[in-house]
Chains A and B, each alone.
Chain A
Amino acid sequence: MARITAGVASSHVPLLGVASDFGKDRDDYFGPIFAGYDWTRAWEEAEKPDVVILVYNDHASAFDMKIIPTFAIGCGERYKSADEGWGPRAVPDVEGHPDLAWHMAQSLVLDEFDMTIINEMDVDHGLTVPLSMMFGKPDVWPCKVVPLAVNVVTYPPPSGNRCWALGEAIRKAVESFPEDLNVQIWGTGGMSHQLQGPRAGLINKEWDNMFLDGLIGDSDHLRRIPHIEYLRETGSEGIEMVMWLVMRGALGKSTRMLHRHYHVPCSNTAIGHMVLRPDNGEGLDMTGSDVTAIAAE
């Protein structure tokens, strides 16, 4: 059977894509940000996930104001990088996993999550930046991707509680897929940032770190944070963090942290990144020590 072996959280600031694509990722400004992902890139090489369920939001790229799905799942064969106004990023196409994605879509609908099914779309920085952060610059992405898009642009977005519950249903869907697959789930976006109005530039390190702390262990208090708290404390775009809760919900009752990174600023945004293991007796390596073995090779 397929199983979820890890959860990864990461910001998806578009400027990180620019830094990666134009070789600025080790300069004075971006170096400290990318260095926080070095551990994860080595770890991913050891983990070799077959599929990543990538929870992200579209930023007016595939979805305009005509259609606004709250939860959408990509069931297509492949996805191209979107032209966000600068021309498309020069990154590999993203290969889907239609078998798993359709299985998830069916299972989720039966579990009363009324998903929108997407067969064709372009994917923007929300999806391709996390791939660059975790995998660097390969000619082909090393795994397949099931895009899971969440509306966090037009209010109201789904509640944190609903996102967490969707994660729980995703876990169930993955575990009922017959093929042996090593599946990771990534929650992307955030952390604190505000891109609009006179209050733009808001950052809240204290709150962000409270949120990071809350992802670890067996507490589920983060699912009850109301939208207004994200808005007041973390800026109008900090609401993206509800997408991390889809990831967290999919890891079961308890988690253990393998890696953590936090940095301010990247453009307007606080960068947060965490690697988590589900810690419910799954028998996974809980030390992350594979990374050291890979590094020694």
Chain B
Amino acid sequence: MITEDPKHQDIHEYLAEMEDIPGTRVFTAARARVGYHINQFAMSLMNAENRAKFKADERAYMDEWPLTEDQKQALLARDYNRCLDLGGNVYFLSKLFSTDGIPFAEAVSTMTDMKFPEYREMMMQGGRSPEGVRSIKANEAAAAAKKEDR
């Protein structure tokens, strides 16, 4: 369970591992750079006046920020997985959840293949098991081995 002393961590291996988790976008420097303005835009919604301005005209408010068209479309659609792909971070995006007045867990559920009631029920039953969602590579290796067996 415990691996090598972290002092021996190679940065390239470290970053490659970060991309090996199914259904997860780790907020690495690469994502932080691409998403800088998404996150700073979201941060501006911590202010009541800005929230009101944004709600009055979302598109106009976002046009004041140096966001890409993709980023604006993802935000308008509240497509949070797409927002993550474009560098958004969930703690920043959560300012948009609260601006919309929706619970954090409900916003989180939209990133899964479940509707909110179903997601909430999964949490009540103890949450999602890590079984089978630890590693993309391990899953691929397991699938390949299974194929060979046939």
**Chain A interfacial positions (CB closer than 8 Å to B):** 14-15, 59-61, 64-66, 82-87, 153-156, 159-161, 192, 194-205, 207, 210, 221, 224-229, 231-234, 236, 264-265, 267-268, 270
Query: Given A64-B43, A82-B46 in contact, is the A201-B124 Cβ separation under 8 Å?
Result: no
7 smallest beta-carbon distances between A and B, as pairs:
A203-B127, A85-B98, A199-B23, A198-B23, A265-B123, A201-B128, A60-B91
5 sample A-B contacts, Cβ–Cβ < 8 Å, listed by A number: A197-B111, A199-B22, A199-B128, A231-B21, A265-B126
**Which residues of chain A have C-beta atoms less than 8 A from B71's C-beta?**
none
Query: Given A14-B104, A268-B105 in contact, is the A202-B98 Cβ separation under 8 Å?
Result: no
Contact with A along B76-101 (1 / 0, CB 8 A): 00001100100001111011011100
Task: State the interface size on chain B (CB cutoff 8 A).
Answer: 63
**Which residues of chain A have C-beta atoms less than 8 A from B46's C-beta?**
61, 82-85
Contact B43 A267 (CB under 8 A): no
When the two chains form the complex, which single residue of B1, B6, B128, B129 contacts A161, counting CB atoms closer than 8 Å? B6
**Which residues of chain A have C-beta atoms less than 8 A from B124's C-beta?**
265
Q: Least Cβ distance of A87 to chain B in Å?
A: 7
Question: Cβ of B45 < 8 Å from any Cβ of A?
Answer: yes
Query: Given A203-B127, A232-B135, A233-B130 in contact, is the A65-B40 Cβ separation under 8 Å?
Result: yes
**Which residues of chain B have C-beta atoms less than 8 A from A192's C-beta?**
127
In the bound complex, CA of A86 to CA of B127 (Å): 27
**Which residues of chain B have C-beta atoms less than 8 A from A161's C-beta?**
5-7
**Which residues of chain A have C-beta atoms less than 8 A from B80's C-beta?**
196
Contact with A along B94-138 (1 / 0, CB 8 A): 110111000111001101110000010011101111100111000
Known: A60-B95, A225-B2, A268-B123. 18 other contacts (CB 8 A): A15-B104, A60-B43, A60-B89, A154-B29, A154-B32, A161-B7, A194-B24, A194-B128, A195-B108, A196-B90, A197-B81, A198-B23, A199-B21, A204-B129, A224-B3, A236-B26, A264-B127, A265-B123
